[in-house]
Amino acid sequence: MTDPGSPGGPIAEAVAGAERLLSRRAGASVRLADPEDLGGSGHSVVARARMAQNPFSSRRSVVVKQYLGDLEPFDPFRYEVASCQLFTALPADVRPSPMIIAHDPAQRLLVLEDLGRSSTLADKLFGPDRVTAQRGLLSWARALGRMQASTAGREDDFGALLRRLGEKVRRDPISDEARAALAGLPEMLLEVLGVELPPSAELEARATARLLGGTRFRAFSPADTCPDNNLVTSLGVRFVDFEWGCFRDVVLDAAYFRVPFPACPTSFALPPGMAAEMQAAWRTEVAQVWPELDDSELLESRLTDGHVLWVWWCTFTLLPRLLERDGPIGRDTGRSPRISSALRHYWRGLGAAAAVTDRPATAELAERVASALDERYPDAAPDLPVFPAFRTAV
């Protein structure tokens, strides 16, 4: 297997392509040096490179991202570019992401602003300092609200940017999966756990599909705001990785506070009161654009709708894996909880939320599912552990 950073490897090729792109733009030779592998994914490489020669810029370094292979009919490169272009057009004080410097569709390559050697939110949550982790979560919640507020009403702009790149506007990638979960989970719960839905539970769940349509609370979403996709910088949290970027109802992302981080590999619990603090920080930002969301009753109802959707979707996605093995959600066993423990936590949290929003059937279903998981997996921890940063004594 070729080392990504070796001569002729994917990183070296991406950096060479970035040199050619920047040289064309500058009309003079631009040279990049000392590439550093930043991870990427299975279908992309990401590297930081030093600006060794650049006659027209004072930048010391850039980040290069190149998509690999044939990913038709869906090409995440186009969504990444359109998202970064949308954000680059925003004022610097509300820009939620690195600024895009250049892109090349032929190479499927982007050159981005380097935000520096920042830790991710996941690093903070798995670090030794609970205060730093708490600040990171609150900064993430504020940044999420600020991103949503600053992109409200810009859906047509995003569509125009996508069309310029040859891409049709796409719905939220989770939409079809969520609808499939609403339709298929009742039968799955019965077959796998022997849980039968109480009367009206399915109706209460299906009513939440309203969030998947054209609501009046729409804004940009990365559609994947797991902790490892957020950089904690000196200027606050900045979001990265927009290959699933879309516009959708803002509470679908805000409901991440409640689950938390649904089906992310790093889906541990938050300490008591943390979700409420995050919600308050987020609400302060979005209420400036949508004053209706400052109505506690309305907000609680919509957040619970989002909570229901995510728990149904997570269960529909993860429950079949339990038939094979009750292992960790993600590949890194040190940073990922057991599936049965995570699902039980999701349902118990949903039951508590349903009880205070007058959804008795959902509350009863949550109790049935949690009890079935207790019975089926008695060796699992009774409670989902909090993130490691919060396990230390105060």
The answer on 123 and 106 residing in a single domain is no
Q: How many domains does the chain have?
A: 2
Question: How far is Cα 51 from Cα 382, in angstroms, rounded to an integer?
Answer: 52
Binning pLDDT at 50, 70 and 90, where does residue 118 land?
Answer: confident
* 32 token code pair: 């990049």
The answer on 124 and 95 residing in a single domain is no
CATH number at residue 241: 3.90.1200.10
The domain boundary residue, chosen from 113, 138, 172 = 113
- H or E element: which one contains 322? helix 296-322
For position 392, what pLDDT does the model report? Answer: 74
The pLDDT tens digits of the residues spanning 283-312 come to: 999 999 999 999 999 999 999 999 999 999
HSE, CB side, 13 Å, CA atoms: give it for residue 343.
Answer: 30
The pLDDT tens digits of the residues spanning 9-27 come to: 899 999 999 999 999 988 8
Question: How far is Cα 32 from Cα 49, in angstroms, rounded to an integer?
Answer: 6
The pLDDT tens digits of the residues spanning 142-185 come to: 999 999 999 999 999 999 999 999 988 777 888 999 999 999 99
In order of 20, 62, 241, the CA distances from 36 in angstroms are 19, 11, 18
The answer on 143 and 109 residing in a single domain is no
The answer on 155 and 54 residing in a single domain is no
The answer on 230 and 130 residing in a single domain is yes
The answer on 280 and 166 residing in a single domain is yes
The answer on 199 and 324 residing in a single domain is yes
The answer on 181 and 280 residing in a single domain is yes
The domain boundary residue, chosen from 70, 88, 113 = 113
Is 18 part of any domain? yes
The answer on 100 and 124 residing in a single domain is no
Is 3 part of any domain? no
Is 5 part of any domain? no
The gap between the terminal CA atoms of the chain, to the nearest Å, is 46
**Statement: residue 2 has pLDDT above 50:** no
Instruction: Quickly tell me which residue has 């380097």 as its tokens.
Output: 114
Query: In 73-89, which positions are buried (b, 16+ CB within 10 angstroms) versus exposed (e)?
Result: eebbbbbbbbbbbbbbe
**Statement: residue 7 has pLDDT above 90:** no
Binning pLDDT at 50, 70 and 90, where does residue 137 land?
Answer: very high
Is 4 part of any domain? no
The answer on 374 and 298 residing in a single domain is yes
Is 210 part of any domain? yes
The answer on 153 and 21 residing in a single domain is no
Query: In 333-360, which positions are buried (b, 16+ CB within 10 angstroms) versus exposed (e)?
Result: eebbbbbbbbbbbbbbbbbebbeebebe
Is 338 part of any domain? yes
The domain boundary residue, chosen from 91, 113, 135 = 113
Binning pLDDT at 50, 70 and 90, where does residue 333 land?
Answer: confident
**Statement: residue 324 has pLDDT above 50:** yes
Is 2 part of any domain? no
- DSSP string covering 92-133: GGG--SPPEEEEETTTTEEEEE---SPEEHHHHHTSS-HHHH
* 79 close to 244: Cβ distance less than 8 angstroms: yes
pTM of the model: 0.92
The pLDDT tens digits of the residues spanning 34-91 come to: 999 998 767 889 999 999 987 767 789 999 999 987 666 678 899 999 999 999 999 9
CATH number at residue 78: 3.30.200.20
* 149 close to 183: Cβ distance less than 8 angstroms: no
* 356 close to 392: Cβ distance less than 8 angstroms: no
The answer on 169 and 309 residing in a single domain is yes
For position 334, what pLDDT does the model report? Answer: 79
Structural domain harbouring 51: 10-113
